Amino acid sequence: MSRIAILSALAQEQHGLLALLLQPQKVQRAGREFWLGDLHGHSVVLALSRIGKVAAATTATALIEHLAVTRILFTGVAGGLAPDVQVGDVVVASSFVQHDLDASPIFPRFELPLYGRAVLACDEILSALLFQAARDHLAEASAAAPARHRVHRGLIASGDRFVSAQAQSVALRRALQRAGHEALAVEMEGAAVAQVCLDYGVPFAAVRTISDRADDQAHLDFATFVREVASQYACAIIGRALRLLSNK
């Protein structure tokens, strides 16, 4: 049986999905709550990643080991790093890097020791599906209320830090660029889930709505955005992706 995990970073993002879940059944593991049920014709588990890489890795491991999920989709918010990635835009990950991993000079900066790589690729098919779902959602939303939000697809950087200063975000982007990585956005969980999924051979993809620009204003933008926009985006984009998946 195929079961899809839908991981949300924040409870506000999970509420809408939980409200649509048919035959919900709660399971507790590792101090976490998991909701099993049916969503848009798929057997799913809804879970909160919790915040930060280790917490997200624990959640992903529990999903795979104890709840037998066969695919993982992640929905959350992120700070925009590249200049054209603005608040309200959506970034679909093609891959992840851990921006706070530095075992140099033994391994090149950002490289995962013993993995021989810094970049963790997402599943091509699931990532394309999320990209289409995000584009369809934004096209429909802007038909109702014109807005210039865009959907991007590319590298996302994860690390155990809420980046909330312009100087920090510029330095982070430059350090990644020096190692050949052009990151579109920054958040705190995706690369950890990607690494667990690589270890287990579980297909993984992620979509992040840009809540802030990882600058001096980030904490204010973040709070407003999560409350007013992120939850609707998560529900709409994941809903569309699941419906597209039924048609394939």
User: From the CB of 158, what's the least distance to ligand SAH, in Å?
Assistant: 7
In this chain, which stretch among 40-48, 125-133, 207-215, 234-242 interacts with ligand SAH, using CB under 6 A?
207-215
Q: Are 9 and 207 in contact (CB under 8 A)?
A: no
Chain position whose Cβ is nearest to ligand SAH:
79
Q: Is 124 part of the annotated catalytic residue set? A: no
Q: Is 24 exposed, middle or buried (0-12, 13-18, 19+ CB in 10 A)?
A: middle
Kindly give the pairing relationship between strand 42-48 and strand 32-39: antiparallel
Q: Are 127 and 153 in contact (CB under 8 A)?
A: yes
Q: Which CB atom, from 20 or from 51, has the smaller least distance to ligand SAH? A: 51
Q: Which CB atom, from 118 or from 193, has the smaller least distance to ligand SAH? A: 193
Does 47 interact with ligand SAH (rule: CB under 6 A)?
no
Does 225 interact with ligand SAH (rule: CB under 6 A)?
no
Residue choice 86, 119, 162, 166 for contact with ligand SAH (CB under 6 A)? 162
Establish whether the linkage from the previous residue to 105 is cis, with ω within 30° of 0: yes
Q: Is 33 part of the annotated catalytic residue set? A: no
Q: Are 81 and 89 in contact (CB under 8 A)?
A: no
Does 212 interact with ligand SAH (rule: CB under 6 A)?
yes
Cα–Cα distance between 78 and 218 in angstroms, integer?
10
Residue choice 34, 96, 110, 222 for contact with ligand SAH (CB under 6 A)? 222
How many H helices and E strands in the chain?
A: 7, 10
Instruction: Provide the token pair at 138.
Output: 């934004």
Does 7 interact with ligand SAH (rule: CB under 6 A)?
no
Q: Which CB atom, from 92 or from 245, has the smaller least distance to ligand SAH? A: 92
Residue 50 backbone phi and psi in degrees, to 5? 70, 175
- Binding-site residue total for ligand SAH (CB under 6 A)? 19
Catalytic site positions: 13, 212
Question: Which spans of this chain sit near ligand SAH (rule: CB under 6 A)?
Answer: 9, 51, 76-79, 162-164, 186-189, 211-212, 214, 218, 222-223
